[in-house]
Structure 1
Amino acid sequence: MSAPPQAAAPERARYGRVLAVREFRAVFAAHVLSMLGVIVSEIALSVLVYDLTRSPLMSALAFAVGFLPYAVGGTVLASVADRFPARRVLVTCDLVCAGCVALMTVPGAGIGVLLTLRCGLAVVAPVFSGTRMATLADVLGDGDLFVLGRSLLRIVAQSSLLVGYGLGGLLLTVAPPRHALLITVGTFLASAALLRFGTRRRPARARDRADSCPGARRLLADRRVRVLLLVFWLPAMFSVVPEALAAPYADTLGAGSTGLGLLMCALPVGTVAGELYAGARLGPAARERIALPLLCLTLLPYLGFALHPGLGSSLPLLLLSGAGSAYTLGLDQWFVRAVPEELRGRAMTLLSAGLMTIQGVGMALAGVAGQFLGVRAAVVAAGVLGTLCCGGLALACRMTEDRDGADRIMTGR
């Protein structure tokens, strides 16, 4: 008696197939423009605030104040992502950002006005990010193309950190801060135009227009969704510690500004390399299989700082840790399966807001730990506590995976 025929495994998606989708190309190009706009505006605003106050504290505050409103935008405004057509939300967010930055360029705008406008950008950001991520599932489906699409947007975000800060610094050598901010107004307007004319109009996901609280409660009542959100959030709180302490660590090593730049670049470069390899070389099943092992390993390289490495040895440790963040490709697929379609926008908004907020908390705690324990000890502590936390999250994730396991069997993955 012959064996029953096996279901054919789905064809592995490639980054090229994702970029072949016309709507995704518009979303991708808009993401590049908006990311560069955000980064250049942050640099220009920081310099502008310093020029006005001559206070390093106020200049740093211009950066830090951008983290706190994420929690507001991600909770109070989360339902916007599902209650209104996605294209309208995305275009409106870009126009609001352009308006806020344009007001920053008005001569005579005081420090209070500038910081308030910076908060406005941060409130809008998680709504925009969550709506865009939910739109990817509409444009690419909720399978492997969606995972690779999200991966490409993360790669752009990490690469923008490397390119944007360099371009911003170069721009400020030839233009005053307010003129540099005018350029970012143009990038937000161009992003809005790409999204308006490059994507299809789709109806709102939610049938009613109730406030966001019932939807948020419904999401958080699902144990699987709660666990996956924590898996996205908590490792990020520990992973930002070396970045937050890069300046004092470079000073400890006597590495100067060049060493500081290398330390700041190491984690993003490792992240991009890990995402590209996992996305291009591994299939969906393999990416899901390695997700939890990579989660448990990604912060282990921080333990190497206990050996007092020099600059040449510190960089590979950071690169290796950054590459371990490729576990997020497997998490992306689990998350989109776990969330009901009508709540996808607010789920992505909540995910984005929580991620930015927890990174801000991590940076603050890193500063406190570095002050009292020393820089190296703080990084090692992040490695130890973070690895233990990741191990517990992996166990919780495994205990709630019944639905995903069933999905993999049904689809032959």
Structure 2
Amino acid sequence: MPEQLTAVAARPPGYARVLAVREFRAVFAAHLLSLLGVVVAEIALSVLVYDLTGSPLMSALAFALGFLPYVVGGTLLAGTADRYPARRVLVACDLVCAACVVPMAAPGAPLAVLLGLRCCLAVVSPVFAGTRMATLADVLGDGDLFVLGRSLLRITSQSALLAGYGLGGLLLTAVSPRQALLVTVGTFLASAALLRLGTRRRPARTRPDGALVMDSLKGARRILGDRRVRVLMLLFWVPPMFTVAPEALAAPYADELAAGPVGLGLLMCALPVGTIAGELYAGARLRPSTRERIVLPLVCLTLLPYLGYALEPGLPLSLLLLVLAGAGSAYTLGLDQWLVRAVPEGLRGRAMTLLTAGLMTVQGVGMALAGVAAEFAGVTAAVTGAGVLGTVCCAALAWEARRAGAAGLPSPAPGGPAAQGTEGRDGADRDMTDG
């Protein structure tokens, strides 16, 4: 266990333990700043594109471009997270993001430039997120503190989505979209400074193995080629693909209920509120062993509340169903522990980057499929169908996790498929230093 953790190891369980680690506080504050920067940029850019074009489609496209390139960055650039020192990668990602936003704020920037730079931000995002997640294991160890740290970052993300869009909208009442983008530049630069000054210098995890793209693809093959790691990745990816259905269809559903703008806002907030409540309870009240025991049962149950849509409930019951479904995502705390245990350190950065890219991609696919289903079958049938099909898929994955030995077992023996990713780590420790 790292030296700085020994002082907090004996404290009661809960999030206070991770916040007691000075280096984690720097990572946490940087995460919050980067997240606020992204939220403000999304709102300001959507408004700016609409002002320039008068087209709702182009405004929506500017927002959607934040999701689509994730798979590109997460697949082709994942090797960056392991072959270069983590602090250098994190600081560089923040600086690249700031450099992308500066031209957006320039007067007269053409639409093509705005959308192209938005794509660049989305390509960099999974590399930053994956490297940060891998760094948490260095800062907090790979035990319960890592799980709580990951959980706290997720809770912050969900909370920022609830508050950030409202604050961004409020900001745009006081300043122009281009001025709001300058605020985003400031948050990225502040995040870079925090990471540079508040985290330790650590060597790269692996020695570069050929060109970056080829190294990234080889890493992805090693990760997904291991049966146990693959099923754990799918346990992260598959439930959210179905979970997003009510959010994607919130506007037409609110219209069906005649709930108005307030009802739409409540429908959009209910799932994140449930997610925050479930994670807070599991992180603060449950023991690590309990969190691991409930992973597979919760995976199988988390989408069942969507079956209640078949009864065509009113707004209050719909909100309750969404809160319950969100609370089921507490299974991710135990799943985090399984994944960090199963992936060798030499592949950890690539695995976390791939995990982030896949998660964003499947949510985008899930939203699109929910829209297609609702077009033909109606909103309530689409959400109910997502609950049925999602529960079947989750149950099948839980069964496969048991068969593959992925549920809570120690990491693969040296020489196994995933272990190949640790090759050359000692050389990397000697040859590469942090900037």
Give the TM-score band, short-chain normalised: over 0.9
Compared CA separation, residues 403 and 375, structure 1 to 2 (3 A): closer
Superposition pairs of residues 234-383 of structure 1, within 5 angstroms: 234-383=238-387
Equivalent position amino acid for 1:398 in 2: R
Give a deviation string over 1:212-260, Cα, whole Å, max 9, x none.
Answer: 2222211111100100111100111100010011111111111111111
Tell me which residue corresponds to 2:141.
141
Equivalent position amino acid for 1:359 in 2: Q
Superposition pairs of residues 105-124 of structure 1, within 5 angstroms: 105-124=105-124
Secondary structure of 1:405's match?
A: coil
Compared CA separation, residues 73 and 268, structure 1 to 2 (3 A): same
Tell me which residue corresponds to 1:16.
16
Task: Determine if contact 1:12/1:284 at 8 Å carries over to the other structure.
Answer: no
Deviation (angstroms), 1:152: 0.2
Cα distance in 1 between the residues matched to 2:173 and 2:11? 49
Deviation (angstroms), 1:209: 3.6
Superposition pairs of residues 167-246 of structure 1, within 5 angstroms: 167-210=167-210, 211-246=215-250
Equivalent position amino acid for 2:318 in 1: S
Give a deviation string over 1:284-316, Cα, whole Å, max 9, x none.
Answer: 100000011000000000000111111111100
Task: Determine if contact 2:69/2:122 at 8 Å carries over to the other structure.
Answer: yes
Tell me which residue corresponds to 1:52.
52
Task: Determine if contact 2:84/2:204 at 8 Å carries over to the other structure.
Answer: yes
Task: Determine if contact 2:47/2:59 at 8 Å carries over to the other structure.
Answer: yes
Structure 1 residue runs of 4 or more that deviate by more than 6 Å after TM superposition: 9-12
Cα distance in 1 between the residues matched to 2:370 and 2:112? 27
Equivalent position amino acid for 1:237 in 2: M
Superposition pairs of residues 158-169 of structure 1, within 5 angstroms: 158-169=158-169
Task: Determine if contact 2:232/2:406 at 8 Å carries over to the other structure.
Answer: no
Cα distance in 2 between the residues matched to 1:195 and 1:383? 41
Tell me which residue corresponds to 1:392.
396
Task: Determine if contact 2:231/2:406 at 8 Å carries over to the other structure.
Answer: no
Cα distance in 2 between the residues matched to 1:152 and 1:384? 30
CA root-mean-square deviation = 1.4
Deviation (angstroms), 1:371: 1.1
Secondary structure of 2:108's match?
A: coil
Gaps of 5+ in 2: 1-8, 412-435
Deviation (angstroms), 1:63: 1.1
Cα distance in 1 between the residues matched to 2:406 and 2:291? 18
Cα distance in 2 between the residues matched to 1:309 and 1:247? 16
Task: Determine if contact 2:94/2:192 at 8 Å carries over to the other structure.
Answer: yes
Equivalent position amino acid for 2:221 in 1: R
Tell me which residue corresponds to 2:128.
128
Equivalent position amino acid for 2:129 in 1: S
Deviation (angstroms), 1:104: 0.5
Deviation (angstroms), 1:402: 6.2
Cα distance in 2 between the residues matched to 1:14 and 1:339? 25
Tell me which residue corresponds to 2:419.
none
Identity %: 76
Deviation (angstroms), 1:401: 2.2
Tell me which residue corresponds to 2:151.
151
Matched, 1:26 2:30: no
Cα distance in 2 between the residues matched to 1:63 and 1:368? 20
Cα distance in 1 between the residues matched to 2:103 and 2:356? 26
Deviation (angstroms), 1:14: 2.0
Tell me which residue corresponds to 1:100.
100
Q: How many residues align?
A: 399
Compared CA separation, residues 57 and 133, structure 1 to 2 (3 A): same
Cα distance in 1 between the residues matched to 2:293 and 2:304? 19
Equivalent position amino acid for 1:19 in 2: L
Compared CA separation, residues 312 and 38, structure 1 to 2 (3 A): same
Deviation (angstroms), 1:272: 0.4
